[in-house]
Amino acid sequence: MGRFSVEFDIANHEDVILARRGSLPESDVRRVTLSGVVDTGATRLVLPGAVVKQLGLPSSGKTRVRYADGRRASRPMVRDAEVRLLGRTGTFAAAVEPKRDTALIGAMVLEDLDFIVDPLHECLVPRDPDMIVSELE
């Protein structure tokens, strides 16, 4: 399992769409730069509650979570979190951790953005530097 931190940008995808259509000034798009722990043992994107509130991300119900120490809990889910990481962008649902200070970037985000984890150098490497590669049958 690899764990290290990276800086990334996150925005409210609904705001981004409104700005793209000209209905919202680009300067009004809610976005934040924050630190995220890349954790290949985690499944999804996890965001601090304060960041979710700042971005105004819409709720999408709840999810059950299991922590590395075996604890289990129910956490809120949000949608439309637009992640920009090392020049690649994707929109994701995220679990919300109210007391967390950093984000958690799990396997679903890494796979969707087509990054390989280099644990020796503690960095993310695009599988193809020019584009996201999708595997098809």
Task: List the chain pLDDT tens, one digit each, 137 residues.
Answer: 568 999 999 999 999 999 999 999 999 999 999 999 999 889 999 999 999 999 999 999 999 999 888 999 999 999 999 999 999 999 999 999 999 999 999 999 999 999 999 988 999 999 998 998 888 87
pTM of the model: 0.92
CA distances to 3, 17, 42, 131, 136 from 100, in Å: 16, 28, 15, 32, 37
Angle at 30 (CA atoms; ends 101, 8), nearest 5 degrees = 50
Quote helix, strand, coil % in the chain, to nearest 5. 20, 50, 35
Q: What is the DSSP letter of 57?
A: P
**Which CATH code of 2.40.100.10, 2.40.70.10, 2.60.40.420, 1.10.357.10 fits the domain covering 3-121?**
2.40.70.10
Q: How far apart are CA 90 and CA 54, in angstroms?
A: 19
CA 13 to chain centre: 12
Domain assignments of the chain as residue spans, ordered by start:
3-121
